Every structure is written in C-alpha cells, then in structure tokens.
Chains A and B, each alone.
Chain A
Amino acid sequence: NAGVMQNPRHLVRRRGQEARLRCSPMKGHSHVYWYRQLPEEGLKFMVYLQKENIIDESGMPKERFSAEFPKEGPSILRIQQVVRGDSAAYFCASSSTGNNQPQHFGDGTRLSIL
C-alpha cells in the first residue's frame, strides 16, 4: 500500500498520559499536514511540515501539542498530558510539491481519553 499510513488506528490513553501519533507520507511526498476532526465538525488544520521544518503551526494549541517531521522516519504528532477534550480523530495528509496539489489522507488515528 503506497498510500499515507497512520498508526495506530486507535489509541486509548488515560488523562495525563502522552499520546504519540505517527504518519508516513506517500512515497515521494515531502509535505505533511495534520488535522483534527471532532464529531459534527469539519477538519481543523493543525500543522504543516516539510522535512525537518515546521512551515505553519497556526492551528496547533499553544501548550501540550507538538509535531515533527524528521529527516528519516515518520512524522509524529505528540500530545502531552492528554485531557478528555483531546479525544478526536487525527488525520495526516501528504502532498508532493505543496503547490495547490491535492492532499492525500491517511485513515486517521482515533484517540480516546479515559
């Protein structure tokens, strides 16, 4: 499968724990985007990264959330000290050039906070 791969598909954490969500972009894609989807809401942009660089993090909460896209390996969205309100589906997308090209989405990670 050459598509965008996200893992885990489902993640359960207790309040106060850390959540790590991983995303491997499509082969040849160097632009990665993270979105959050809540029930009855659309997708909310969180962060846009290229290899080793954060391009736009205007949608990221100021605290507890961070993202990286290292030179080697997947992109990671990290949520520290999770709270109930962090429960959502988190989607990763990738694109090739970033110049108005379609974004290709993974199937998401559904995060549940107990």
Chain B
Amino acid sequence: AQSVAQPEDQVNVAEGNPLTVKCTYSVSGNPYLFWYVQYPNRGLQFLLKYITGDNLVKGSYGFEAEFNKSQTSFHLKKPSALVSDSALYFCAVVDTGNQFYFGTGTSLTVIP
C-alpha cells in the first residue's frame, strides 16, 4: 500500500534561514511524489512533483525537493525562508490508480 509520513507536525524557522520539511514514503513500484501548500481557508496549491529524472526537483516560490531512493525520502527545502512561507505543507504519493495519498501535514512558521 502507498503511504507518506510527515514526522513533524510543526516546524519553526527564522526568516532568512534555510528550511526543510520532511517526508518519507512507502510505495510498491516507482514513486510519484508531490508537495502541496495550504494557506488558511484555502485549498491546496501544487508546489512541485517528482516523476522521474533528476533527484533535485525545483518548484514554485523558490521551493525544491530532493528525492532520495535509498532513504525513501522526499524532503522539501528552501534556501532562505520568508514570513509569507508560513503555511501548512502536504506531501503526497500517487498510486497506479491515480489515487493521491496525503500526509498529515506539517505546519511551517517562519519567525520574523
């Protein structure tokens, strides 16, 4: 069965510092991995995806994610955090039936 785990409910980082939001996955077959961001009272917005190719995927708003097959991880990163990055972040994996499995989310707070 496909699943993702986001081990941290909450991540705090100072503005200007690098940020990492962690995600590990469990899939049978090739993983298709996604990151989404959710702002208050809004739907999820697509940030980036990994299907195949380079392990470092670049996405919207300066975010990137590193696919690590040996560690079954797909951590979201940004070199320099902004206060406006404060939001809820979801990792997701897709199975062969195109069903998305979302993690429980990580709340990111960027401290001015």
B46 and A104 contacting across the interface, CB-CB below 8 Å: yes
Interface check A30, CB cutoff 8 A: no
Interface check A103, CB cutoff 8 A: yes
Contact flags (1/0) for B34-54 with A, using CB distance below 8 Å? Answer: 101000011111100101000
- Knowing A42-B103, A43-B90, the reply to whether A98 touches B44 (Cβ < 8 A) is no
Q: In the complex, what distance in Å separates the CA atom of A33 from the CA atom of B100?
A: 9
User: Interface size class for chain B?
Assistant: 20 to 34
Number of A-B pairs whose CB atoms are under 8 Å?
57
- A35 — which chain B residues lie within 8 A by C-beta? 102
A107 and B46 contacting across the interface, CB-CB below 8 Å: no
User: Interface size class for chain A?
Assistant: 20 to 34
Contact flags (1/0) for B91-111 with A, using CB distance below 8 Å? Answer: 000100111111111000000
B49 and A98 contacting across the interface, CB-CB below 8 Å: no
Q: Is the interface of B mostly helix, strand, loop or mixed?
A: strand
A100 and B94 contacting across the interface, CB-CB below 8 Å: yes
A103 and B100 contacting across the interface, CB-CB below 8 Å: yes
Contact flags (1/0) for A35-55 with B, using CB distance below 8 Å? Answer: 100001111110010000001
B99 and A48 contacting across the interface, CB-CB below 8 Å: yes
Shortest B97–chain A CB gap in Å is: 6
Query: 8 other contacts beyond A100-B49, A107-B42, with CB at 8 A cut-off?
Result: A40-B104, A48-B99, A55-B97, A56-B97, A56-B99, A100-B94, A102-B46, A108-B41
Name 13 interchain pairs, CB-CB below 8 A, sorted by A: A35-B102, A42-B103, A43-B102, A45-B101, A56-B97, A93-B43, A93-B44, A95-B98, A102-B49, A103-B44, A106-B43, A108-B42, A108-B43
Q: Residues of B at under 8 Å CB distance from A?
A: 32, 34, 36, 41-46, 49, 51, 90, 94, 97-105
